[in-house]
Structure 1
Amino acid sequence: MTGLRYALIAMTVLIVVSTVTAIANGGLNLITPFLMPILALSWQGQFNIDFACYLVLSGIWMAWRGGFSGGSIALGILAPLLGILFLAPYLIYLVGRSNGDPRQLLLGVHA
C-alpha cells in the first residue's frame, strides 16, 4: 500500500500544479475546451467522452462503496466533478482507514 500512497500523492501534486497552470494560462473556462472536441467528433472528443465515463464510474463506485448513504452519494457527486484532485486524496485517506486491507479499501460497507 505504500507504493499506492506515493503514486496517489504524486498524482495529487501533478494535478494541482497542472490545474493552477491551466487556470493561470486559460482562466476558469473548462466546459468549452472539454465539449468542443466532443462536438467536433475528434479523437480528443473521443478521449473526453471516455474520460468522463471513468469519472462517472468512480462516482458510482464511491456511492456504492458507502452503501448509497447520504454522505457516500455526496462523495459520488464530488468525484466526477473534481476528478483525481478529489479522488487521490480521498483514496489516501481510505488506505489509512482500511489499515492496508484491499478488501476493505475497495468494498467499504460491503466488505
Structure 2
Amino acid sequence: MALFRTYLLAIILGLVTYTMLVGMEHGWNLLPIFFGNIVEMSWQGQFNLDFMSFLSLSAIWVAWRHQFSGSGIVLGILAFFGGMLFLAAYLLWASGQASGDTKVLLLGRERAKSV
C-alpha cells in the first residue's frame, strides 16, 4: 500500500505542476477546446471522448462506493470534473481509511462487510 500511495502522490504533484504550467501558458478555458475536438471528429476528439468515458466510470464508481448517498453523488460529480487529480487524492484518502484492506478500498466499508 505504501508504494501505491507514493504513486498517487507522484500523480498529484505531476498533474498539479503540469496543469498550472499549461493553464498559465494557454489559459483556463478548457471545455470549449475539449468538446470542440469531439465535434471535429478528430483523433484528439476520439481521445477526449474515450477520456470522458473514463471520467464517467470513475464518477459512477465513487458515487456507488458511497451507496449513491448525497455526499456520494457530490463526490461523483467532483470525480467527473476533477479527473485523475481528484481520483488520486480520493484514493489516497480512501486507502488511509481502509487501513490496508483492499476490499474496503474498492467496495467501501459497508459493502465490504457484506461480502
How would you bin the TM-score normalised by the shorter chain? Answer: over 0.9
Matches of 2:6 and 2:92, distance apart in 1: 9
**Correspondence 1:36 to 2:48:** no
Greater Cα shift, 63-72 or 32-41:
32-41
Deviations 1:63-85 (A, max 9, x none): 00011111111100100101111
Gaps of 5+ in 2: none
Gaps of 5+ in 1: none
1:46 corresponds in structure 2 to 46
Superposed, which structure 2 residues align to 1:41-80 within 5 Å?
A: 41-80=41-80
TM-score, normalising length from structure 1? 0.96
RMSD: 0.8
Q: How many residues of Structure 1 are paired with residues of Structure 2 in the alignment?
A: 111
**Identical-residue share of aligned pairs (%):** 47
Aligned to 2:100, what secondary structure does the other structure show? coil
Q: Which runs of 4+ in 1 moved over 4 A?
A: none
Superposed, which structure 2 residues align to 1:61-100 within 5 Å?
A: 61-100=61-100
TM-score, normalising length from structure 2? 0.93
Cα deviation, residue 31, structure 1: 1.0
**Correspondence 1:110 to 2:111:** yes
Deviations 1:18-58 (A, max 9, x none): 11011100111101221122111111110100000100110
Aligned to 2:28, what secondary structure does the other structure show? coil
